[in-house]
């Protein structure tokens, strides 16, 4: 397997993905096949799933042998944190190898080329099949706004409650100790908004997990949120086209009224 990213914007995106991956899972399997690079990771509490899909055409070079490699997210973060902004990324791994070779290179001779050998790990993890869902409500907003809202809500409670109707969207969190915060999002302020006619949704999600997901906001100008009662929220960052995506699925919190 040999992949290469020369485009500086794509290289920054690729590095940022894995720099934030450690917030979600300590270790992940990276799957390479003829068509794409794919990652599915599950958090330690088994309530959230991350899926990264990058088609082969997204890379400047994609010479692969179908293979799955296990990596430590924290070690990969340390490696990527040494990359200078203008450096290309090249990743190599031979069949049956126990190490991943990572190179950072640049035509700028004032910036030193760097090479790393990273040990691979064996991860016994099966891919989960996520069923297709017809969502009742979907909307998009600037990812920076989403991140800021989640950061603020997290200061006042552990859960984000959302009420969504055709007229408005309200997000709020509260606790006995810190009080309550609510934020009303006008439909006119959204990039896109679709909801079933007459639908009124009310759901609750972990702010700790949403905060982790919001840390990826620099990957895309927009974030898309999808909801269906008693189903996981889907959080989607588009990384340049419809096939290049980072998706999260987070199970809703169940209240006593829902049981």
Give the tens place of pLDDT for each residue, 24-77: 899 999 999 999 999 999 988 889 999 999 999 999 999 977 899 999 999 999
Cα separation values, 209 from 25, 150, 238, Å: 12, 10, 19
Contact 114, 101 (CB under 8 A): no
Q: Model pTM?
A: 0.93
Give 207: exposed, middle or buried? Use CB within 10 Å, 0-12, 13-18, 19+. buried
Alpha helix segments (H runs only) across the chain = 8-21, 73-80, 143-154, 207-214
Give the tens place of pLDDT for each residue, 122-158: 988 788 899 999 999 999 999 999 999 999 999 999 9
Query: How wide is the angle at C-alpha 147 spanned by C-alphas 200 and 132, nearest 5°?
Result: 50
Cα separation values, 237 from 23, 165, 190, Å: 17, 23, 15
Structural domains in the chain, sorted by start: 2-119 (3.10.150.10), 137-250 (3.70.10.10)
Block residue for tokens 């397997």: 1
């Amino acid at each position: 397997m040999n992949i290469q990213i020369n485009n500086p914007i794509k290289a920054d995106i690729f590095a940022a993905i894995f720099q934030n991956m450690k917030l979600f899972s300590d270790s992940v399997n990276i799957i390479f096949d003829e068509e794409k690079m794919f990652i599915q990771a599950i958090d330690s509490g088994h309530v959230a799933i991350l899926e990264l899909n990058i088609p082969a055409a997204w890379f400047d070079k994609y010479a692969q042998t179908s293979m799955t490699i296990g990596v430590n997210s924290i070690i990969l973060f340390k490696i990527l944190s040494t990359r200078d902004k203008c450096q290309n990324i090249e990743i190599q791994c031979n069949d049956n190898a126990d190490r991943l070779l990572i190179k950072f290179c640049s035509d700028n001779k004032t910036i030193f080329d760097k090479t790393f050998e990273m040990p691979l790990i064996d991860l016994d993890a099966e891919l989960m099949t996520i069923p297709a869902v017809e969502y009742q409500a979907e909307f998009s907003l600037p990812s920076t706004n989403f991140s800021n809202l989640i950061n603020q809500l997290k200061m006042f409670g552990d859960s984000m409650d959302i009420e969504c109707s055709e007229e408005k969207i309200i997000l709020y969190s509260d606790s006995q100790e810190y009080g309550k915060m609510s934020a009303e999002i006008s439909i006119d302020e959204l990039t896109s908004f679709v909801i079933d006619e007459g639908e009124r949704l009310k759901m609750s999600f972990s702010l700790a997990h949403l905060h982790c997901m919001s840390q990826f906001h620099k990957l895309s100008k927009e974030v898309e949120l999808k909801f269906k009662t008693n189903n996981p929220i889907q959080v989607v960052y588009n990384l340049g086209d419809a096939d290049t995506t980072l998706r999260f699925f987070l199970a809703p919190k169940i209240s006593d009224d829902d049981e």
